[in-house]
Structure 1
Amino acid sequence: MVQAPISSGKPVQANQAETPLVKKVSRLEGIKERSQFLREPVATELAQDTTHFTEDGIQILKFHGSYQQDNRDNRVKGQEKDYRMMLRTRNPGGLVSPELYLTLDELSDTYGYGNIRATTRQAFQLHGILKKDLKATMAAIIRSMGSTLGACGDLNRNVMAVPAPIKDKPEYVYAREYATRIADLLTPQTPAYYEIWLDGEKAVSGEEHPDVVAARQRNGNGTIVHDSVEPIYGTHYMPRKFKCSVTVPGDNSVDAYTQDVTLVVIVDENKELLGFNVLAGGGMGRTHNKETTFARIADEIGYVAKEDIYDLMKAIVATQRDYGDRVQRRHARMKYLINDWGVEKFRTKVEEYFGKKLKPYKALPEWKFYDYLGWHEQGDGKLFLGVHIENGRIHDRGDFKIKSALKEIELRYRLPISLTSNQSLLLTEIDPAHKDEIDHILRSNGIDAEDQINLLHRYSMACPALPTCGLAVTESERVIPSILDRIQALLNKLGLKQEHFVIRMTGCPNGCARPYMAELGFVGSAPNSYQLWLGGSPNQTRLAQPYMQKMNIDDLETTLEPMFAFFKKGRQASESFGDFCDRIGFEAIRNFSASYVPAKKAASGRRKHRVGISGDVYLKLKEAATTQGVSMAQIAESAIAAYLKE
């Protein structure tokens, strides 16, 4: 269902097929319209002595960069939920100043759960903030040259960019510059953000590029909503969230095909910027048992010269703004508009807003995924260091103290940070004389060098899921380390010890960790159960497909062992697991699995040997198993194996 234009000041003429009789729009459209450009009811409810926001307040709060959640581990029947706020930063290209990072570190201890989380979209999240502390937290971030405006909600989200700060390759510099400029162009213009969080005080911020300022006001065939606080968005903002990225040819460190829009920098032989290839229509979110919702990869739309990039972005936004579905929110992302219309019709409508024809998409080299871990030269005499952060969680736990290590490094060296799309970070602008000292700080706090990281862990991702995410139906971040260890044990058993592939896990079908692009994806479908997705590519350019609708996590070994055995037997030279599954097909995998007889029982089968433990340890083990959503045997076996390894 596509609704007729409601936002544009001068909508492009549409034929009857594009504008059927308008149905009643979703409830959220009314909430946005009544919000006075994102002021209410947030401003009023923030001043009230309550523990949480109303449903209307929650929806508008998202535009300010915060989700209301509750700690589901603390739910007690008959008692009020333990309401907490999650706060997400907006960092175009993943750039974070040392001052902002140190502020987030302090805020996490003062108001949060004592940890920071790097997201899959090059931002940071703070969890556990009470409503009464939200304003102080937000104000501190803004005064440290940070922002949360537009990190959530129905508008352009954080603009991603290739994270590597490579200075002697101009295309990398252009990518990061234009990520910031596109983010500025599509930033909400409402003064409500500073009115609410800084009592009207305008924070000091960087100057916008003059071309961006001019483009925001230029009409461009109906792209601008005249006489509006929001010239690009209008009163109702976007139908749903809108995600962009900027990268360079061959570098798929941004998951380019999962974005609403990806721009690929094109330079000439002298490395001067010419323009951009444009991909559009990607998106991961879906709903279980709703076949009308699906993951989709972006299409090649065309090429645009550099001087027209802002007008083209406005044209794409206006097309989705005016023709995206505002009736059914599950059908509101731009991927559905392109899927329903087809690429040609979508391109034609964009060209109407743009005022000219797009040029053909330019040929590109093969895409590769880079995580940029370890030491690298920037090309200007300085270094950058990629630091692995498992599932993005920056905390101190046992001998692993990455939070302490990063704080010490930032206090001593004040290094800019560049976040990656893989939940890790790059420490940049490093004087080579400080290399050994930084390595020592990391090693002394239990952080391994990149060549010591288990490869399954290195290339995996998981969403937070339980206990903070209200949408999660099962565990993700808390269980994936044990899942990866069990998969590694299977590979070892089958003589595939050095094999690795992209594994991603989410606690629900919304796809925040992009599991539908993984070689092996786990998507939460019920408590302790997951859909199994297979066949994505190592370079993240091909969608995986659903292999199994519900796999209990206790059946992991018996499910995966036949697949891995078949992979070992039938793979081609240097073929990855995802490419093998895509080539051989699911029917062949199922046929092989049905007749597969393991040499010995998988690790999760019935144990022949028993080991006794004391009552106190048993109770602690039972509590840990319940919290992590795994069996007591799995925890015990992993702990014993780790002890024997030491």
Structure 2
Amino acid sequence: MVKSAPPPIASRKPSKVEGIKENSNFLREPVATQILEDTTHFSEDAIQILKFHGSYQQDNRDNRVKGQEKDYQFMLRTKNPGGLVPPQLYLALDKLADEYGNHTLRATTRQGFQLHGILKKNLKAAIASIIQNLGSTLGACGDINRNVMAPPVPLKNRADYQYAWEYAQNIADLLSPQTGAYYEIWLDGEKAISAEESPEVKAARERNGNGTIVHDTEEPLYGTHYMPRKFKVSVTVPGDNSIDLYSQDLTLVVITDEQDNLQGFNIFAGGGLGRTHNKEETFARVADPIGYVAKDDVYDAVKAIVATQRDYGDRSDRRHARLKYLINDWGVDKFRAKVEEYFGKPLAPFQPLPEFKYEDFLGWHEQGDGNLFLGISIDNGRVKDEGTFQLKTALREIVEQFNLPIRLTPHQNLIFYEIAPAQKSAIQEILDRCGIVTDPGKIEPLERYAMACPALPTCGLAITESERAIPGILARIRTLLDKVGLQNEHFVVRMTGCPNGCARPYMAELGFVGSAPESYQVWLGGSPDQTRLAQPYVEKLPDKDIESFLEPIFVFFKQSRKPQESFGDFCDRLGFDAIREFVAQYQPEPVTLTVEPEEPTLATKSRKARYRVSLHDDLYNKVKTTATSQGRSMTELVKEALDAYFQHLT
């Protein structure tokens, strides 16, 4: 019988979380007991198990009051394979956001939704409502397979995209926990109505496959300890990197023949981005090509990879527990050999693939069967009503009136599909009335391709701001690009409030990773298509110094780039030594500030006198910031400063 955890390593005892999982009675306790208690929060042990049910306990740091209890609230995350959100589920989530949450929804970077601000007393009702409306939160968090991603674009005339959707759903079913705890706790034991599972998936889950199954347990694939850490899977098609395939633990790439018949899947494994500052043993890593598997064997191959990580992943050091570390420590050949032991035969050679490209599918498009789809950009995934911008209202009206399904995108956007051409004008009218831009050409490109995690105030891991900071930082970057003569330039900017990398900053051309309050580690050199890992350029950049830091790099880019070369490709080609050398020698052009006298003199009565004072950027920016904060003109502030200076001299 195969154990659900590897044999203990001498002198290395399992982490505390391993014991919590083992004693949870398959994810029941202590959540089942504590959800009935009239308290505002769960215990530390319960918090770990609650994650498997799709919820994180959080503290709104904006509302902290010294000497009082933390402002406990809960984030709920949905699991939507391939990003599918049925209309009934969307309307339920929209209602829950107002009834129990903070009046917003947030599309995640893994194609789910998050609800924020739910109180413990309302948690059971919220989860029950999601389940009853064709949704789930089970396995959206925790040491388990997370939401299975797939390209969101609904191209009905592309068989490979349809296969990607089908197998994303099937693999999500295959790797779903089998414990009854979820329905016992949140629905009092009632089983929800859900789509029927594929018979192939059910049979694959029960096949032993040379040790992939843990016998005599509620969890035949996971056992009593589940996975060492989270496990992330995606399914895509050749050339489509809308799902950031290199950042996943496991990616399957659909392979078809010339008649569009499914043949099998290429396998990538070992990607992952989470890391810890000042811990060199933790690092971001891109996935490796592992091999190819025929379609009839794909579920057994997936089980073999999961079982390898389950049995050999590090359960003593949670910072070293992801699959990427196992493959990095073992090497691809040893990992493949171990997978083949569980699989029962060799994997076939990796099939040739075209270059992968990133697309976001925004705007109006035909979906290949006479109907339309519409991709809507959502800034940092936050669905809300604010002033004349009424996105939450618009989406609710569209779903209510037209009963359209939704696909969430890995870039925190949203796609409506199955739109009859006759419905287009009415949908566009709703969006126009609510201030929603649907023409991607009218969206600021820096904003269009940027991503940020929620960070403060609710994420307990956040070191500094991210979602709330990035709009202002992108505006400052645009101003700087205009200043140095790169008016039409844009690139992929991603930001996180901590090094865990939820918005995948390590694949960006310019990545900001929170390293201290109002400071960021800066990563440069990722590719526009997210096929190359960026590298850390500076460890701690204060927010206020972003312009002076980036200006020389942008000037070097303008002067030394190749035709049509992207910013990330430029940084990767030139290397950091060359960039640092240019920055060290860079002398910014002085900024000219015009100062006018209070009253014209006899000498200037025939003309208006203007005197020019040159300031370097850092001083100019300080004057500008101070003048703005005080509601005064820069000229007035400079005069006052000079008067004070000369009075001091005398």
Asked if these proteins are the same fold (TM beyond 0.5), I'd say yes
Cα distance, 1:139 vs structure 2: 0.4
What residue number does 1:316 align with?
Answer: 305
Corresponding residue SS for 2:235? strand
Cα distance, 1:109 vs structure 2: 0.2
Mapping 1:384-533, distance limit 5 Å: 384-448=373-437, 449-533=439-523
Aligned counterpart for 1:356 among listed residues 341, 345, 352: 345
Corresponding residue SS for 1:160? coil
Corresponding residue SS for 2:540? strand
1:167 aligned onto 2:156? yes
Corresponding residue SS for 2:465? coil
- The aligned length equals 606
What residue number does 2:127 align with?
Answer: 138
| CA deviations over 1:114-141 (Å, ceiling 9, x no partner) | 0000000000000000000000000000
What residue number does 1:342 align with?
Answer: 331
- Residue identity matched to 2:355: E
| CA deviations over 1:364-410 (Å, ceiling 9, x no partner) | 01110010001111111111100000000000111111101101111
Contact persistence 2:378–2:412 (CA under 8 A): yes
CA distance in 1, matches of 2:409, 2:11: 42
1:607 aligned onto 2:617? no
CA distance in 1, matches of 2:460, 2:519: 17
Cα distance, 1:155 vs structure 2: 0.4
What residue number does 1:565 align with?
Answer: 555
| CA deviations over 1:538-593 (Å, ceiling 9, x no partner) | 11010000000000010000000000000000000110000000000111111111
What residue number does 2:118 align with?
Answer: 129
Corresponding residue SS for 1:161? coil
1:64 aligned onto 2:64? no
CA distance in 1, matches of 2:418, 2:553: 44
Change (3 A) 1:608 1:554: closer
CA distance in 2, matches of 1:195, 1:167: 39
Change (3 A) 1:575 1:147: same
What residue number does 2:221 align with?
Answer: 232
Corresponding residue SS for 1:148? coil
CA distance in 1, matches of 2:327, 2:525: 24
Aligned counterpart for 1:180 among listed residues 169, 179, 188: 169
1:590 aligned onto 2:606? no
- Residue identity matched to 1:271: D
Aligned counterpart for 2:266 among listed residues 269, 277, 283: 277
Contact persistence 2:52–2:139 (CA under 8 A): yes
What residue number does 2:604 align with?
Answer: none
Cα distance, 1:609 vs structure 2: 9.2
CA distance in 2, matches of 1:432, 1:251: 27
Change (3 A) 1:20 1:28: closer
Structure 1 range deviating more: 433-442 or 467-476: 433-442
What residue number does 1:306 align with?
Answer: 295
CA distance in 2, matches of 1:305, 1:57: 41
CA distance in 1, matches of 2:629, 2:237: 56
1:556 aligned onto 2:527? no
Cα distance, 1:22 vs structure 2: 5.9
| CA deviations over 1:197-252 (Å, ceiling 9, x no partner) | 00001100000000000001000000000111000000000000000000000000
- Residue identity matched to 1:469: C
Contact persistence 2:3–2:214 (CA under 8 A): no
What residue number does 2:642 align with?
Answer: none
Corresponding residue SS for 1:606? helix
1:286 aligned onto 2:275? yes
Corresponding residue SS for 1:605? helix
Contact persistence 2:374–2:415 (CA under 8 A): yes
- Residue identity matched to 1:523: V
CA distance in 2, matches of 1:238, 1:610: 53
CA distance in 2, matches of 1:160, 1:610: 47
Contact persistence 2:8–2:14 (CA under 8 A): no
Change (3 A) 1:606 1:314: same
Change (3 A) 1:144 1:304: same
- Residue identity matched to 1:476: S
Aligned counterpart for 1:534 among listed residues 513, 524, 531: 524
Corresponding residue SS for 2:622? coil
Structure 1 range deviating more: 444-453 or 211-220: 444-453
Corresponding residue SS for 1:275? strand
- Residue identity matched to 1:548: V
Aligned counterpart for 1:7 among listed residues 1, 4, 9: 4
CA distance in 2, matches of 1:143, 1:314: 30
CA distance in 2, matches of 1:456, 1:609: 23
CA distance in 2, matches of 1:415, 1:573: 43
- Residue identity matched to 1:521: G
Cα distance, 1:612 vs structure 2: 7.7
What residue number does 1:14 align with?
Answer: none
What residue number does 1:382 align with?
Answer: 371
1:119 aligned onto 2:108? yes
CA distance in 1, matches of 2:436, 2:348: 48
Structure 1 range deviating more: 584-593 or 45-54: 584-593
Structure of higher CA gyration radius: 2
Change (3 A) 1:35 1:552: same
What residue number does 1:92 align with?
Answer: 81
CA distance in 2, matches of 1:370, 1:531: 27
- Residue identity matched to 1:606: K
- Residue identity matched to 1:574: Q
Cα distance, 1:435 vs structure 2: 1.1
What residue number does 1:622 align with?
Answer: none
- Residue identity matched to 2:126: T
What residue number does 2:597 align with?
Answer: none
Contact persistence 2:452–2:496 (CA under 8 A): yes
Cα distance, 1:104 vs structure 2: 0.3
Percentage identity across paired residues of the two chains: 68
CA distance in 2, matches of 1:523, 1:613: 27
| CA deviations over 1:425-465 (Å, ceiling 9, x no partner) | 10111011111221121121111121110000000000000
CA distance in 2, matches of 1:613, 1:215: 64
| CA deviations over 1:67-96 (Å, ceiling 9, x no partner) | 000101001111000100000000000000
CA distance in 1, matches of 2:191, 2:3: 31
Cα distance, 1:276 vs structure 2: 0.1
What residue number does 1:326 align with?
Answer: 315
What residue number does 2:601 align with?
Answer: none
User: Please, which runs of 5 or more residues in structure 1 have no aligned partner?
Assistant: 12-17, 619-632, 634-646
Q: CA RMSD in A?
A: 1.7
- Residue identity matched to 1:73: D
Cα distance, 1:145 vs structure 2: 0.5
Corresponding residue SS for 1:557? helix
Change (3 A) 1:228 1:560: same
What residue number does 2:200 align with?
Answer: 211
- Residue identity matched to 1:80: E
- Residue identity matched to 2:583: S
- Residue identity matched to 1:307: D
- Residue identity matched to 1:475: E
| CA deviations over 1:168-198 (Å, ceiling 9, x no partner) | 0100000000000000000000001000000
CA distance in 1, matches of 2:552, 2:364: 38
Cα distance, 1:613 vs structure 2: 7.8
